[in-house]
């Protein structure tokens, strides 16, 4: 049985505290050693809030399968210290580093002297924080579990700005809205978008962020969602997967049927995504050769 999750505040020094939820792994071998550790790198702004139920369900499922899970609220998000408008991209990178270091400090070497693998669970733009987390664990085998990843921050920023454009359309003031926001940020001023105050330091850092193939990453589980049962990866995703393979990583990539829960009006669930994730997280040496989506995740 999975032990109960524990909420606590992780010390970020002068930058305050970060609310974390730790879910220990169920003991599957009688010794209590987890099969691996997982760090959630959360989605951006309101996408994070819409995803909370899915990430909580997944964390419990992962822990029941023998993996230790840590989730956190970044600076200015949820119940962590600070305001969203005061956060910079560098702050969030530091948050990813301290969370990864906390998990790393708990990892015990196995009989072979190696620590269990660390999975960085990147949800949407959270994937862009993976390079910072990798920096904090120099001697670990690092793997990526990517849920509908955004691999260029410029795209996430553009999508976020369109929320303001949509609101201005209703008010008849959409003309030049994006350029006006960019001009405001260039002057060092924050902009208000969908109830969030976006600082220049966060906007510029996010826009420059990228997730590129790294030799430090041994496995990548790239999972996307579609309401269609026969959907395939987009051309951009296929190219990214090929780049990771060329770097030497083992890759599983698939599209699971389910709603875009991070952008839904109501809170949605995508159980098939969790099933496909579990199959990837617990796979053995056949990681890259077995179907990326298990039969139970595609059943009608």
- Which DSSP state fits 196? E
* Local confidence band at 174 (pLDDT 50, 70, 90 cut-offs): low
For residue 67, which of 125, 131, 121 has the smallest C-alpha distance? 121
Is residue 276 pLDDT above 90, yes or no?
Answer: yes
**Listed residue (47, 59, 62) closest to 20, CA to CA:** 59
Delimit the CATH 3.40.50.1820 region(s) of the chain.
6-152+217-297
- Give the pLDDT of residue 45: 96
Q: What is the pLDDT of residue 299?
A: 45
pLDDT of residue 298: 47
Mean pLDDT of the chain: 90
pLDDT of residue 295: 55
Q: What is the CA radius of gyration of the chain?
A: 19
As a whole number, mean pLDDT of residues 76-104 equals 97
Question: Per the structure block, which two tokens stand in for 43?
Answer: 């989605």
Per residue in 119-138, pLDDT (tens digit) is: 999 999 999 999 999 999 98
Mean pLDDT on 161-178:
68
pTM of the model: 0.92
Tell which phi-psi region holds residue 161, choosing left (phi > 0), alpha (psi between -120 and 50) or beta: alpha
Domain 6-152+217-297 falls in which CATH fold? Rossmann fold (3.40.50)
Using pLDDT thresholds of 50, 70 and 90, give the confidence band for residue 111.
confident
What pLDDT is attached to residue 300? 34
pLDDT of residue 173: 58
Q: Which pLDDT band holds residue 110 (cuts at 50, 70, 90)? A: confident
**pLDDT at residue number 197:** 96
**Which pLDDT score, from 0 to 100, does residue 130 have?**
98
Burial of 1 (0-12, 13-18, 19+ CB in 10 A): exposed
Mean pLDDT computed over 26-45:
84
pLDDT of residue 292: 62
- Predicted pLDDT of residue 154: 96
Cα 226 from Cα 108, distance rounded (Å): 38
Q: What is the pLDDT of residue 79?
A: 95
Least confident stretch, 2-11, 74-83, 153-162, 261-270: 2-11
- How far apart (Å, rounded) are the C-alpha atoms in residues 274 and 257? 11
| Residue 169: per-residue pLDDT | 58
- What is the average per-residue pLDDT within 9-27? 95
Are 233 and 255 contacting, i.e. CB atoms less than 8 angstroms apart?
A: yes
What span, in angstroms and rounded, lies between the C-alpha atoms of 172 and 165? Answer: 10
Which of 102-116, 160-174, 216-230 is least confident? Answer: 160-174
Q: Which residue has the higher pLDDT, 172 or 23?
A: 23
The pLDDT value recorded for residue 23 is 96
Res. 164: pLDDT tops 90: no
pLDDT tens profile 204-261: 999 999 999 999 999 999 999 999 888 889 999 999 999 999 999 999 999 999 999 9
């Amino acid at each position: 049985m999975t032990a109960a999750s524990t909420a606590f505040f992780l010390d970020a020094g002068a930058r305050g505290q970060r609310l974390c939820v730790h879910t220990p792994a169920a003991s599957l071998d009688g010794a209590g050693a987890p099969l691996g550790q997982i760090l959630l790198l959360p989605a951006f702004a309101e996408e994070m809030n819409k995803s909370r139920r899915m990430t909580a369900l997944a964390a419990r499922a992962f822990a029941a399968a023998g993996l230790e899970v840590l989730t956190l609220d970044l600076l200015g998000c949820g119940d962590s210290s600070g305001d969203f408008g005061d956060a910079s991209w560098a702050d969030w990178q530091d948050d990813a580093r301290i969370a990864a270091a906390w998990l790393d400090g708990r990892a015990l070497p196995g009989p072979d002297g190696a620590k269990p693998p660390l999975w960085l669970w990147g949800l949407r733009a959270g994937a862009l924080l993976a390079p910072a987390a990798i920096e904090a664990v120099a001697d670990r085998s690092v793997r990526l579990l990517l849920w509908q990843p955004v691999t260029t921050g410029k795209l996430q920023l553009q999508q976020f700005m369109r929320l303001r454009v949509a609101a201005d359309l209703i008010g008849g003031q959409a003309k030049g809205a994006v350029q006006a926001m960019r001009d405001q940020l260039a002057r060092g001023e924050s902009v208000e978008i969908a109830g969030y105050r976006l600082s220049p330091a966060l906007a510029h850092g996010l826009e420059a962020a990228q997730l590129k193939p790294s030799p430090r990453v041994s496995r990548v589980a790239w999972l996307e969602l579609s309401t269609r049962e026969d959907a395939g990866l987009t051309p951009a995703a296929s190219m990214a997967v090929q780049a990771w393979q060329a770097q030497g990583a083992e890759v599983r990539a698939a599209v699971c049927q389910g709603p875009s829960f991070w952008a839904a009006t109501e809170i949605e669930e995508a159980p098939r995504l969790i099933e496909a994730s579990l199959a990837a997280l617990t796979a053995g040496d056949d990681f890259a050769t077995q179907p990326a989506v298990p039969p139970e995740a595609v059943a009608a």
